Each structure stands twice: as C-alpha cells, then as structure tokens.
Structure 1
Amino acid sequence: MLKIGFCDDDLSILKELQVLLDHYRVEKNRELAYTAYQSPLELLADMEKGLRFDILFLDVLMPGQTGIEAAREIREFDTAVKIIFLTSSAEFAVESYTVGAYFYQLKPIWAESFYRLMDSVIAECKKAEQRSLIMRCKTGITRIELEKLICCEVMGRTLLFCMEDGRTLESQGKLDDLAGQLAIYENFLRPHRSYLINMDYIRTLSSKSIVMQNQEEIPIPHGKYSDIKTRYLEYAFERQGIVV
C-alpha cells in the first residue's frame, strides 16, 4: 500500500486533496493511505520519528516554514519520497527542483490533472520499488535505491551501504543473503567475500584492486583478476557501450 502525505496550511485545500484522492482510489481500485498536516513542523516531527511516505504533497508558502525549506530537511533522511509542490504561483518552480521535486502543481487542482499526476507518480514509485531494497538501518526503515548504491561491505554482522550521495547506511545481515537478493541484477558483482559492488561505479580496475568512484578500494583475491575483468568487460560492452 502506498502512503501519501498532504501538507498545506489551508484546510480547504487539504479537504479538496482528500476528496480527490478518495475518488481516485475508488475509480482506479488502488490501495492508498494518506495523512494530512496543516503544519510542516508536524510533518517533520512525524518523519523524524520514522514515518515514511511514498508521495508527499507540500504547499510552498506556509507560515513559519516554506515547503521548500521543509523539503530540504526531509531530503537529509529521505531521498526516495516523491515530493510534489503545490502553489498558486510559478515563482518558486526552479528552486523547487533543487530539492529533487517530482512535480510542481499549480492551484487550483482540477480532478483530471490530479488523476494524470497520480497515475504518473504511482508508476514511478512502482518502478523505483522494483529496483530498491527495504532495510532496517540505524536511522529507521530505509529504502535503498539500487542505482545509487556504490558498494556494500560486511564487517562482522554489519552491512555498510556506501551511497552515491556520500552517506553510509548500516544494517544487520549477511552479505551472502544480500548477494542472493541482488543476483538478478547484472550490474552487481562480488569480487571479494567482504564486498559487493555496483559495476556502474567502477573507476579503475587493476590486477590488485578495484577503485570505486567514491575512492573505496576493494582488494582482488589472488587468481581472481582474470574472471573479474572478463565479467566487467562483458557488462560494459553489453550495457554501456564501452569500447576498449
């Protein structure tokens, strides 16, 4: 079930959004749950406690804190939620995309445009869900987008996920289990018993090590270089069109 959040200081807009969503989910026969907020501070408080949304409708201009300011805070601990800004003016459209906005919806919101937007963003959520992992991390339940995962290292029973944005997420588990889950994706390779890497982020490959784009250096066990190089070049030719 997809979780949707509405945040607008105008109670009439919140009621309008709830009515639109109720009609949409009945007409489309979709399982959707929503929570409404009149203050971004209330929304942030719940999200800091671990509540997560798949889709978030944020009014741009609200007393105390703008929707864009709230979105910047949200992005510090949730990069996956699809943020849709609501406003009666296009003035902040450019700035909204600096926080990874999915869409910028002008008011008033008509049913036809709302339905099209919901169809689009739900399709995007499903696509992201197919290429992501849900893990219990120190920061709470976290969706890890596989295309942004550089590598994973295991230390004892702790998995360390190195992400494209510089974050390192920690979760308890076995690398064998993770490797099994990701075996269906051609871009993931296990060059060493302690590492699983995303080949899209390889910077250099030598007989002794693999250096990733985040400068992480993964040792290559003795006698494994030829097999690893062959696997990487096959992937590069097939998926990225690299010519050597």
Structure 2
Amino acid sequence: MYNIGICDDGENICTSIENMLLQYAQEKNVQVDTNIWYTGESLRDYLASGGYLDLLFLDIELFKMTGIEVGTYIRNQLDNMGLQIVYISGKASYAQQLFKTQPLDFLIKPILQEEINEVMGMALKIAKKRNERFEFQRGKDYYYIPMGDIVYLESKGRKVKVVTMKAAFEFYGKLKNVVKCLSEDFIVIHQSYIINKEYVFRYTYEMVELVDGTILTISLANRKIVRDELLREE
C-alpha cells in the first residue's frame, strides 16, 4: 500500500487531486491510500503522533502554518528525509524557498492529470530504489540498511564508514568493492567518498554540500563526471 497525503485549504482542490491519484492508481494497478487535511496544524499533529506517509501534496499558502513551515518541520523536527513532498501553489515565485526542504516537485495550480501521472511515476521509482538494501558485516553480525537511507560512504584506512541521517556504521572493506553493490543513485566523487545524489543540497565544481551539512571535496579526476551526473538530475 502506498500512502499519500493531500493538504490544501481548498476542498475542491483536494478532491480534484485525490480523484486524479485514484485514476492513476486504477490505470497502473497500484494500491494507494489517500488522506486529506485542510490545515498545516492538523497534518503536523498527524505526523508528530507517528502517522506515516510515502508522498505528500502540500499547499504552500495555507492559512496559519504554511506549507513551507510544515515541510521544514518534517525535515528538521521529525528528521524525516524519506517522505516525498510535492509543493502546490497558485504562484511560481517560491522555488528558492523550497530548496532546503528537498521537494520531489513543485506544481502550479490548476494541476493536470499528466502532472500527477509524472509525479507518481517518479515517486514510485524512488520508493522502489529505497527498498533496495545494502548489506555489510561487522564481526559475526550482518547489517541491512535501505540504500535510500545512506547519505554517503567514506573510506577510512581499512574501513568503510556508512553515514545515514540518524547514525553511522563502520566495517572492514574497500570503497572500490562497495561501489559495485550500490544503486545508480550513488556517485564516486573522490577515492575516499561515494555520495547519494538524493541528499545533495548544493554543489560547485570542487565540492558538494549534503543535506546534513557535510561538505566533501570532489577530486580533480571526478569533477566532470560528478557535474554531468548532478546536472542530469536537475
């Protein structure tokens, strides 16, 4: 079951988006469960109490707690980087403000069925990738981490450090062997670093900044490849 939330203070807009989502689900034979909220506060309370969503269509211009404030709450207070957020608005002037909350997309009202179809295709593709797991061994114990949770990997002598938003793990190994086990979302930026493209916040020709604030150097030999890969994502 794929859990989708819609938060907009316009009842007609919520109903329209829900109907388009259900049409997509029927055509693609995807099981979805939709929930609707009309205020940012009610959505925040649902998530704070442990409510789970895979995808959220979030209006920016909510009456009190704005969509941007809800998105910031999801990322910073709940530390939830997995929930895919699609902002919706009647204006096109918010793009820069949304960047820090790492949205999946930004749609301008009125929203069309074709746009919903495209968003759902992207969201389901990401969800499938995140279900892939990375396996490593520490002593006699085996660990399995969803690849979508990995922010970056670092070579530390004879060990590899795996960093997620919530924890870090080390095991004996080499990055050149680890990279063979990773999905196409990962890029080698340096002989000591592999990053997950989904967690890139900012980049220049010489460095990348990840959403957790980590800044990593891009080696001279990898700069063109990294730039081309990241530009392809834009």
Judge conservation of contact 1:132–1:146 (CA < 8 Å) in 2: no
For 2:61, what is the secondary structure of its paired residue?
Answer: coil
Deviation at 1:18, TM superposition (A): 1.1
Q: RMSD value over aligned CA atoms? A: 3.6
Q: Distance in 1 between matches of 2:62 and 2:68?
A: 10
Deviation at 1:113, TM superposition (A): 2.0
| Residue type of the alignment partner of 2:51 | L
Deviations 1:137-159 (CA, angstroms, capped at 9, x unpaired): xxxxx9773432659xxxxxxxx
For 1:64, what is the secondary structure of its paired residue?
Answer: coil
Flag the 1:57–1:132 CA change in 2: closer, same or farther, 3 A: farther
2:113 aligned partner? 111
Deviation at 1:131, TM superposition (A): 4.4
Q: 1:81 aligns with which of 65, 75, 83?
A: 83
In the TM superposition, what are the counterparts of 1:5-154 in structure 2 within 5 Å? Answer: 5-76=5-76, 77-131=79-133, 145-148=148-151
Flag the 1:130–1:107 CA change in 2: closer, same or farther, 3 A: same
Deviation at 1:32, TM superposition (A): 1.0
Judge conservation of contact 2:7–2:14 (CA < 8 Å) in 1: yes
Deviations 1:194-235 (CA, angstroms, capped at 9, x unpaired): xxxxx999959xxxxxxxxx8xxxxxxxxxxxxxxxxxxxxx
| Residue type of the alignment partner of 1:93 | A
Deviation at 1:184, TM superposition (A): 9.0
Question: How many pairs align?
Answer: 173
1:210 aligned partner? none
Q: Distance in 1 between matches of 2:149 and 2:46?
A: 26
Q: Distance in 2 between matches of 1:19 and 1:13?
A: 10
Unmatched 5+ residue regions in structure 2? Answer: 136-144, 155-161, 172-176, 183-187, 194-213, 215-225, 227-234
Q: Distance in 1 between matches of 2:84 and 2:92?
A: 19
Q: Distance in 2 between matches of 1:10 and 1:132?
A: 42
Q: Distance in 2 between matches of 1:94 and 1:112?
A: 24
Q: Once the two structures are aligned, what percentage of the paired residues are identical?
A: 22
Q: Distance in 1 between matches of 2:24 and 2:3?
A: 14
Flag the 1:127–1:145 CA change in 2: closer, same or farther, 3 A: closer
Unmatched 5+ residue regions in structure 1? Answer: 134-141, 152-160, 177-182, 189-198, 205-213, 215-239
Q: Distance in 1 between matches of 2:37 and 2:87?
A: 14
Flag the 1:12–1:130 CA change in 2: closer, same or farther, 3 A: same
Q: TM-score of the superposition, structure 1-length normalised?
A: 0.59
Deviation at 1:34, TM superposition (A): 1.3
Higher Rg of the two aligned structures: 1
Deviation at 1:169, TM superposition (A): 4.6
Deviations 1:56-105 (CA, angstroms, capped at 9, x unpaired): 11001011111011100000221111110000111101211221011001
Q: TM-score of the superposition, structure 2-length normalised?
A: 0.61
Q: Which runs of 4+ in 1 moved over 6 A?
A: 199-202
Q: Distance in 2 between matches of 1:48 and 1:90?
A: 29
